[in-house]
Amino acid sequence: MILPHDPFRPTPDSENPKSKDGTSNYQDMVAYVDKMVGKIVNKLDELGLRENTLVLFTCDNGTSGSIKSELNGKMVQGGKRQMTDAGTHVPLIANWPKTIPGKQVKEDLVDFSDFLPTLLDAAKSPLPTNLTLDGQSFLPQITGKQGNPRKWVHCFYRVKGEER
């Protein structure tokens, strides 16, 4: 989903549907994302699919430079478009109640090219023999096993004709 993303506009749940306050609207967008993900998880519960469904949640880049967030009691300035942690380090939440032990925090690097091999691994489906991928499965790490963590990830950002 595009939320939370600039332009920071009110959501259907915002108190003020005409708000122009970017920070407040951003916070509302984050809350709305949480609500929408919750609806998906609740539907999986309702259908009896939750325990055997791998849910992955992540985003494509760091927070906008106009946003300040609090993390562990410290203010963090957004760094989108930067090659620093503030621009490239994003959360990845993996949840699969029957398979992934809860309350783990891993520091392993994951690249978007790793998602297809991970999903194939989770589905116990072999990689087609005519397909070569740059990614590698991170399923061992999220299931509490010893994996083969990456030493690097590829990051590219292009805005208005300039490359970074």
134-156 pLDDT tens trace: 999 999 999 999 999 999 988 87
Joined together, the tokens standing for residue 63 give 């927070």
pTM higher than 0.95: no
Distance in angstroms (rounded) separating the CA atoms of residues 31 and 112: 25
pLDDT confidence bin for 161, thresholds 50/70/90: low
Q: Which residue has the higher pLDDT, 16 or 156?
A: 16
Average pLDDT over residues 58-74: 85
Going from N- to C-terminal start, the domains of the chain cover 1-53, 54-163
Where does residue 138 rank: exposed (0-12), middle (13-18), buried (19+ CB within 10 A)? buried
Q: Where do we find the tokens 């989770």?
A: 122
User: In this model, does residue 80 exceed pLDDT 90?
Assistant: no
